[in-house]
Structure 1
Amino acid sequence: MRDIDGFNVLNGPDSLIHKGFVEGCSACISGLANIAPREINAIWSRFHAGDIEGSYEAQESVTGLRTDLYKVAFSPAAVKKALQLMGHDVGDSRYAVNFTPEQISEIQQIIRHYNIN
């Protein structure tokens, strides 16, 4: 990837942002960045500042958020519901998910636990 002039590769899995940068990706497409932009940006900014260990630590810092939120429901729907609960009018997910009151409560607890509101 690094040897092809003008060719950029982006990765998408939130679990592999740091690894993608290490392997030569120029950017990432992150669902979590919608609800935790500072935390996700820290992975990129630390890596590009030469702080590879700090980038890895930033990646690890969002592991709990990612696993907790994505186990509630299909990840794009869970992110959109979290955004709604954080006060953003983003509409419903195209992949319709009918959240139970328990799932909504769980997402609210995740938002509070990770202090991303």
Structure 2
Amino acid sequence: MSVPLYEAKAELFRLLGHPVRIRVLELLQDGPKPVRDLLAAIEVEPTGLSQHLAVLRRSELVTARRDGSTVVYALSGGDVAELLRAARALLSAKLSGRHALLNELLEEETGQR
């Protein structure tokens, strides 16, 4: 039995619902990275990073390949980077709305004095 599309989308967003996973995806936007580079950039224990990478691998958002004894991770495709760009745009719009409201409040407060 197939899962409804809205449930599949909810599962995707649940998988993305951890800051370490988002940070890993952001770092991989610049190209493939070995685990040691990811560890150096993210303050997390190696076992914790390994668990997050496993979740991202199972969800097919990243790929892994061995280069000797090193495991190198990469985004599975451009759609992942596009999703991160869309999230950034949504946050920018949300925060700029707050900034505009804050400016309006400050102007109002200054005008009343």
Q: TM-score range by the shorter chain?
A: 0.3 to 0.5
TM-score between the two structures when normalised by the length of structure 1: 0.31
Query: Which of the two has greater helix per residue?
Result: 2
- Structure of higher CA gyration radius: 2
